[in-house]
Chain A
Amino acid sequence: MQLGLNLNVNDTVPETMAKSREAERLGLDYIWISDLPSQRYAPVVAAAAASATERIRIGFGLISPFLHSPLQVASSLTTLIEAYGERFELCIGPGDRDQLRRVGVDLDRTEGIPTHLLKAKGKIQRSLKDRGLECKIWLGAQGPKLLEIASSFDGVLLNYSSPRMIEWTLKVIHKAKGKMAERVGIFAPSYVYKNFRPEIHRILQYASATVALGASKSVLEQFSFSEMLEPAMKRFASGTHESSVLKLIPSIVIEEFSILKCQHDLPAYLDELRRLRVDHVVFAYPQGYSMETIRELANALVS
């Protein structure tokens, strides 16, 4: 199983560089540089992280081809790989619906999302191949329509954490093509701790609630979350302040979308994921909140 840390949420570029260096020193396999429209531009941050490290693999994404053209994504990867070697991987997916809407990309009115993603993957790979370069491309997916194309990618990254949801996902993927995705990973808001800090737990709840509220309708229906989340969704759509939305989300939903473990409980959870064939785990924000939270994760992994 390979383990990674998600960076580039609120940090400045020098802070991300320092955290990348620390993640490498602590023996993590990957850092994943996210690319939400509200955040710093991922290719620049990925270059900075690569310059600060030597070996650690750098995941780049989730990148939305609805925001960045496949040629732009390919040219970023070309520059990164030619400058720092083949230690980059890419994850593409539709992206955060709410954030994309704010920058003029309306996924709700976009037809044929799976086909668009497959075409984007093809264009990126062809462009890299023309330069003699290679890069693994993951699919960031949730709902059945996207999961059906997962086996066409080098791996699938799911942004929920609960074993029962992962189990369902694997069945959907297998049923669609008669085979599994080459690799299965999860990318979930995480807080693995030694000394529990309520303020970080609070951030975890926000991050997890954001993922849940942006989840595919079919996933929410499959797990009977739709009804539970309806009041929060209405409040969220009206632009109401985050804290009042959070209060309306049942804690069980938040738990299904996040990893909240004390150091001693993490190994058992990872064993459970291994049993399910998950071989890649990305501990997303707020695990990368500070050097301390990164070290607490690393200590848990060593134990």
Chain B
Amino acid sequence: MRSWGVVWSTVGNMDLSVGLTTSSSIEMVKWLAHNVDDLGLRGVWTGEDIGRPQEIFTVTCLILLETKRVNVGIGVASPFIRNITTVARAAVALNEISPGRFRLGLGVGGLQDLASMGVQVEKPVESMRKIVETLKGIWKDRKTVTSKELRLKNYKTSFAPADIPIFMGVRGPRLLSLAAEIAGGIILSGPKEYVKESIKLVRERRVTAGLTETDFSFVLWVPTIMLSGDRDLELAKRVVAIVASDTPDKVLTTADVSLDEVNKIRSILRRGGAKEAARNVSEELIDKFCISGDAERISEVFRSYSSLRIDEVVFGPPYGRNPRDAIQQVAKAWGRT
């Protein structure tokens, strides 16, 4: 899905973007927002780490305000921890700052994070469908919206209609099928085998539904880290310990990852924390869950995803020991390819 004819480095049919989360410091957000237009990247995605200090919509706003060219997306926020109208109102305000550059990514959210906020999602597929349809209804015109499930009654807004692309960051066949049907794109994460299977499923679903392939984007966001020493490797292992532990068993099986190995890491993670768990992360597991190496290797691995028809790859976090340097180096390496 490419509607912009401006300067960013496309490799094959694929673009490079950079990712942040609400755990990132405001200094990092400001630095990136100030520089990203000149790095030749397609965009910035911000992910919501539930319970972290920064607020997803406000952080996204800072980036939109500071940039002129790049796409700016939320990838992803959970609609289950806030009133649906908050998502609708925030997205409209963000879209107004720079029409055409904002993209809204939605996901269920980590089950443990949701539980810590007292939120239980019983029917994620039905709920996500209702949420996306309702958002589109709210944005479509100024008619009143009523939804028993979302507790809206004669809800009416004061803003003009908006057309905001919705991406979904989801896992599992039913949610992937839903995304294929109702979203403008999907943000995928996980081992390459799993990503490949997910893309196949989404494309088949779209064909079945009579939807065109060109109106849909595949975004890959996997933890990436530029290695320049043992400390970076340690950081990569910690990240992989956490990510692998959070990955559903079905995904692990699809990717041919040893359940015994991950279960052991999960157990140590619960007892002793990420540092302890990291000691049990093998190099093979790092390769499954994290893209790492020097800037050239990271670019090469990203490039290898073009065969899967990924449209956009996202670099970071955790980036490496020096995030600013890592982002600049990877952006340069990407531009050289």
Question: B151 — which chain A residues lie within 8 A by C-beta?
Answer: 103-104
Q: Who on chain B is nearest to A13 by CB? A: B96
C-alpha gap A38/B92 in the complex (Å): 11
B152 close to A104 (CB less than 8 A): yes
Q: Are B58 and A44 in contact (CB-based, < 8 A)?
A: yes
Max count, chain A CB within 10 A of own CB: residue among B30, B51, B58, B157: B58
In the complex, the answer to whether B55 meets A103 with C-beta atoms within 8 Å is: no
Does B259 make an interface contact (CB < 8 A)?
no
Residues of B within 8 A of A78 (CB): 53-55
B104 at the A/B interface (Cβ < 8 Å)?
no
Interface residues of B in 64-95 (CB under 8 A from A): 65-66, 81-86, 89-90, 92-94
Instruction: Decide yes or no whether B221 CB sits under 8 A from chain A.
Output: no
Q: Are A39 and B55 in contact (CB under 8 A)?
A: no
For A82, give its contact among B26, B94, B158 (CB under 8 Å): B26
Given the known interface contacts A79-B26, A102-B152, A104-B150, the answer about A72 and B58 at a Cβ–Cβ threshold of 8 Å is no
Contact partners of B157 in chain A: CB under 8 A: 38-39
A12 touches B96 (CB 8 A): yes
Bound state CA distance, A103 and B145, in angstroms?
Answer: 10
C-alpha spacing A39/B89, complex, angstroms: 7
Contacting pair B57 A43 (CB below 8 A): yes
Answer whether residue A196 sits at the interface, using C-beta atoms and an 8 A cutoff: no
Q: Is the CB of A102 within 8 A of B153?
A: yes
The segment out of A45-53, A174-182, A290-298 that lies at the interface is A45-53
* Interface pair B93/A44, CB less than 8 Å apart: yes
A68, A76, A102 pick with most chain B CB within 10 angstroms: A102
Instruction: Known contacts A103-B155, A104-B150; decide if A67 and B83 are in contact (CB<8 Å).
Output: yes
Q: Which residues of A contact B65 (CB under 8 A)?
A: 47-48, 51
Q: What is the distance, in angstroms, from A107's C-beta to the closest C-beta of chain B?
A: 14
- A residues within 8 A CB of B117? 69
Chain A contributes a number of interface residues (CB within 8 A of B) equal to 35
Tell me, yes or no, whether A80 is within 8 Å of chain B by CB. Answer: yes
A131 at the interface (CB under 8 A from B): yes
Q: Smallest Cβ distance from B291 to chain A, in angstroms?
A: 28
CA gap between A102 and B83 in the complex, in Å? 11
Q: Is the CB of A41 within 8 A of B93?
A: yes
Q: What is the distance, in angstroms, from A40's C-beta to the closest C-beta of chain B?
A: 4
Contacts of B61 on A, CB cut-off 8 Å? Answer: 43-44, 47-48
Residue among A40, A76, A102 making CB contact with B55, cutoff 8 Å:
A76
- Asked whether A72 lies within 8 Å of B55 as measured between CB atoms, the reply is yes
* A104 to B158 Cα, complex, angstroms: 18
Q: Which of A72, A101, A239 has the most CB of B within 10 A?
A: A72
B154 partner, pick from A39, A45, A239, beta carbons under 8 A: A239
Whether B97 is near chain A, meaning CB under 8 Å from some CB there, is yes
Q: Which residues of A contact B150 (CB under 8 A)?
A: 104
Please judge, given known A-B contacts A101-B153, A102-B154, whether A13 and B54 are in contact too, CB under 8 Å.
Answer: no
Given known A-B contacts A83-B62, A104-B83, A75 and B54 have beta carbons under 8 A apart = yes
Tell me which of A40, A44, A47, A103 contacts B152 (CB under 8 A): A103
A14, B96: Cβ atoms closer than 8 Å: yes
Docked pose: A40 CA to B90 CA in angstroms? 6
A12 and B58 CA atoms in complex are apart in Å by 16
B303 → A minimal CB distance (Å): 35
Complex: how many Å from CA A261 to CA B248? 65
Q: Given the complex of chains A and B, what is the CA–CA distance between A102 and B147 in angstroms?
A: 10
B174 interface residue, CB < 8 Å from A? no
B278 interface contact, C-beta 8 A: no
Q: How long is the Cα–Cα vector from A71 to B156 in the complex, in angstroms?
A: 26
Complex CA–CA separation, A71 to B53 (angstroms): 9
Do A80 and B83 touch across chains, with their CB atoms under 8 A apart? no
Given A68-B82, A71-B51, A78-B54, also A48-B97 (CB < 8 A): yes
By a CB distance below 8 angstroms, the chain A residues around B82 are 68-69, 72
Nearest Cβ on chain A to B286's Cβ, whole angstroms: 32
B333 to chain A, nearest CB (A): 30
Bound complex: CA A198 to CA B128 (Å): 46
Q: Is B59 an interface residue (CB 8 A)?
A: yes
A37-B155, A103-B151 known; A76 and B93 CB under 8 Å? no
Contact of B51 with A40 in the complex, beta carbons under 8 Å: no
State the Cβ distance, B82 to closest chain A Cβ, in Å: 7
**Is A37 within 8 A of B154, CB to CB?**
no
**Do residues B152 and A41 form an inter-chain contact, with CB atoms below 8 A?**
no
Can you report 22 A-B residue pairs in the complex whose CB atoms are below 8 A from each other? Answer: A12-B96, A14-B97, A37-B83, A37-B85, A38-B156, A38-B158, A41-B92, A44-B61, A44-B97, A45-B93, A47-B61, A48-B97, A68-B83, A79-B54, A79-B62, A82-B26, A83-B30, A102-B152, A102-B155, A103-B84, A103-B85, A104-B153
List the 8 shortest-distance A-B pairs measured between CB atoms, nearest first: A104-B151, A41-B90, A40-B93, A75-B55, A82-B26, A44-B93, A79-B58, A41-B89
